[in-house]
Amino acid sequence: MSDFTPVFATRNASWPPKRHEARSSVRKSRQRSPQITGHIAEDDNGRHYLSSHATLPLMIATSCLVKPQNGDLVCAVLHQHQIFVTAILQRQHSDAALVLSSGTVPMHLSTPALEIHSSERVEIHTSRFSLRAKTSLWISRTLHQVADALFVRAKHAHRQVENTDEVQARHISQQAEQSLIINSRIGSLNASAVLKIDGGQVHMG
């Protein structure tokens, strides 16, 4: 009896936890938020809602970065009397722009390498733009810079122009603390009103 009793107790002791786990799993499955599908609609006030649940507020899940548009077929979760869009299954217009939106929180991308390829154009609209890099390379056939004020500060500057370097301004002022050297095979200096040359020593010829 001493050898038989522990075996009998061990076999029967495993059954209540299994029944309890089964009841717990059933209870959890019933408490899961149901998944629903439907189309995004918009009322006269610009409020978006799910066509199958028009009275419930519509929210965008944090993991759904693609912003749904009117008429899109989406997958959503019903939780605490709110609709959370989790994924976009089909776009109403296949050629509609793909909009990534993180709401009111910042979006950060962390990767060892990032490439953006666009056959037509790349546009960035922002109130402030900053670029910090050890090495920056710009290659373009035509480069236009338009600004109210342009400030460039560098320890060393080198510019090489193959053909013509033309500067147009109302006033041009250049200051050199040590020396100013201008070399040319043919030189011309014209002034329609007054031409003044002043120096401690002036050497001509």
Does 185 fall in a domain? no
Residue 151 is predicted with a pLDDT of: 93
Does 74 fall in a domain? yes
Residue 32 is predicted with a pLDDT of: 62
Residue 31 is predicted with a pLDDT of: 57
Among 62, 78, 104, the domain boundary falls at 104
Residue 33 is predicted with a pLDDT of: 66
Please state the domain count of the chain: 2
**Same domain for 39 and 87?**
yes
Does 175 fall in a domain? no
**Same domain for 37 and 5?**
no
Distance CA 42, CA 48 (A): 4
**Same domain for 100 and 80?**
yes
Domain CATH number, residue 51: 2.40.50
Residue 76, number of CB atoms within 10 A of its CB: 28
Give the total residue count for the chain.
Answer: 205
Residue 153 is predicted with a pLDDT of: 92
Below-50 pLDDT ranges, the chain: 1-13, 22, 25-26, 29-30
**Same domain for 25 and 49?**
no
Query: What's this model's pTM, rounded to 2 decimal places?
Result: 0.52
- For residue 20, what are the domain limits? 1-32
Among 104, 131, 165, the domain boundary falls at 104
Residue 204 is predicted with a pLDDT of: 83
**Same domain for 4 and 60?**
no
Residue 94 is predicted with a pLDDT of: 79
Give the contacts of 107 (CB within 8 A, at least 6 positions apart).
Answer: 65, 100
